[in-house]
Amino acid sequence: MQETRAELVSRLAKAAGIKPLEPEKTKGLFTDESEIPAWAAGYAAALQQAGLLQRREDGKFEPLGQATSAETAVLQLRIIEFHQH
């Protein structure tokens, strides 16, 4: 079973020790923010603010969309590079 984009960002951010942003700092980052589960919103926002997570078209995060293996690999690489600097 593939994981969703919300599950992916939460899992990778936690594994990398990246702290989620507070709820008030997640507003307006994604056009579909109302669809992002509360448990994932802070992690998605933290990764986006750090320049590690790109929005999809129209500024969406698409939290329930399936994470592709390419997205997973790219995000993992970006997190590794982030920690090396």
One-letter identity of residue 53: L
Residue 78 C-alpha from the chain's centroid: 12
Residue 4, strand partner residues: 66
Other C-beta atoms closer than 10 Å to the C-beta of 8 total 25
Q: How confident is the model at residue 83 (pLDDT cuts 50, 70, 90)?
A: confident
pLDDT (tens digit, 9 = 90+) per residue, 15-72? 999 999 999 899 999 999 999 999 999 999 999 999 999 898 899 999 999 999 999 9
Q: Which of 2, 6, 72 lies closest to 35, judged by CA?
A: 6
Rounded to whole angstroms, the maximal C-alpha distance in the chain is 34
